Amino acid sequence: MTNAWATGMNTIRDMLRNNARQYGMVIALAVIVVLFQILTGGLLLRPLNITNLVMQNSYVLVLAIGMMLVIITGHIDLSVGSVVAFVGAVTAIMLADLGLPLLVVLPAALLLGAAIGAWHGFWIAYMRIPAFIVTLAGMLIFRGATLLVLGGESVGRLPSSVRFLAGGFVPDLEVGGVHVLPLVIGAAASAALVGIQWNDRARNLRHGLPASSARLNSLTSVLTTAVVMVFSYMLALHSGVPVVGLLLVALIVGYAFLMRSTTAGRHIYAVGGSERAAMLSGVDTRRTTFWVFVNMGTLAALAGVLFTARLNLATPGAGEMFELDAIAAAFIGGASASGGVGTVIGAVVGALVMGVINNGMSIIGLGVDWQQLIKGLVLLLAVAFDIYNKKRAAAGGAKTSAADSSGPDTGPSSEENEREPVPAGQSRT
């Protein structure tokens, strides 16, 4: 029993030491949750508040997934907040003023977002203008376009079908006060995420790439399943699965699979790791970058629809600071400013860190001023942690190289090399 316990602790210690970037923010999220659970007197983890947390942060989670892909490629997108506002304004006008049904408006909104992303992607990927400049221009353009479309006024009173999208619950069966559907979806999501983890390990082993041990992978799978099922059980105790929660599960599982198990995902990482090396390897780096921004525009449009539906109106000031929340969530979740590093699950963890901090501070009565200050410090610490990990990894690599180069020398000894040369025609004795 003692040996099994020691082995388990050693496995956990090795996992944390060798994967500090990946698991550091998960541990930080757990600490933040426990801290605010204590400070709020147990209110944070009540089923009602868990449901509100999902609904209130749905748009940030959607944006964080898209922003993570952009940052992995080594770029940034400052326009997403303005795109959220613009698409939300157009959506509200089509719904409230033109009376179009949601089944027509939602695809149109997503196509509009994709077109905006294609506009950005064209200038960045093919015209080689820095993403910072292009998306900064986009932020100004679409903020101005929002003011023009709305005429400086709010547009509201959206149909009930739209409000159901952001605030409704999926009908399901209730047994003994517990909704069944959240548990079923939680089990399916856990199976999908665990399957992605093991498939990723098998592929790495098949191609001779570094892979985690079976014991470490098993521990990660158990922790993933436990977290997802506990979260699902909390939803089951309230009103079941929010419609937006079901959408988020589909996005998280889908994009996690895309990034870890498809050629397109590997191309995104390759472009961010070294665009020149990716190009020499046959990757169409321009096309990859272009579609990453198309994807970002589409997800920004979806976030705009969700935010507008939750407010039940479109306002000229919608989406302000959303780009910073999405960028902060990506970096807190493990993205690297130099590109090539990051995961979809990390983006979700980063968004949840921001959401729990906002929610917890609101419950205990801290104002927006303190919330902004603390979120800024969390972002700074996350980036500092990333830099620290890079330096530690570089130092470890240098030590390994030094050890390899200091192995036994099988060549001539230095004493022999220093002997005087032998004249021609004579032999050394």
Please give the chain's pLDDT, 429 residues, in tens.
556 555 555 555 555 555 555 567 777 888 888 888 898 888 888 888 988 888 889 999 999 999 999 999 999 999 999 999 999 999 999 998 888 998 999 999 999 999 999 999 999 999 999 999 999 999 999 999 999 999 888 887 888 888 888 888 888 888 888 889 889 988 998 898 888 888 888 888 888 877 777 887 888 888 888 888 888 888 888 888 899 988 998 999 899 999 988 999 999 999 999 999 999 999 999 999 999 999 999 999 999 999 999 988 899 989 888 998 999 999 888 888 888 888 998 899 899 988 998 888 889 888 778 888 888 888 788 777 767 776 776 676 566 556 555 555 544 444 444 444 444 444 444
Q: For 388, what's the count of Cα atoms within 13 Å in the CB-facing half-sphere?
A: 11
Asked whether residue 204 falls in the same domain as residue 70, the answer is no
The amino acid sitting at 116 is I
For residue 169, the cross-strand partners are: 242
The amino acid sitting at 108 is A
Note down the domain range covering 107. Answer: 16-168+242-390
What CATH number is attached to the domain comprising 359? 1.10.3470
Please check whether residue 419 lies inside any domain of the structure: no
| Cβ contacts of 203 within 8 Å, gap of 6 or more | 209, 261
Check residue 156 and give left, alpha or beta (phi > 0: left; psi -120 to 50: alpha): beta
Please check whether residue 408 lies inside any domain of the structure: no
Domain boundary among 189, 217, 240: 240
Asked whether residue 289 falls in the same domain as residue 377, the answer is yes
Please check whether residue 231 lies inside any domain of the structure: yes
Domain boundary among 215, 240, 265: 240
Please check whether residue 1 lies inside any domain of the structure: no
Asked whether residue 261 falls in the same domain as residue 132, the answer is yes
Please check whether residue 5 lies inside any domain of the structure: no
Please check whether residue 284 lies inside any domain of the structure: yes
Give this prediction's pTM: 0.84
Let me know: does 271 contact 290? Beta carbons within 8 Å. no
Please check whether residue 96 lies inside any domain of the structure: yes
Q: b/e per residue, 303-320, with b = 16+ CB within 10 A?
A: bbbbbbbbbbbbbbebbe
Asked whether residue 79 falls in the same domain as residue 102, the answer is yes
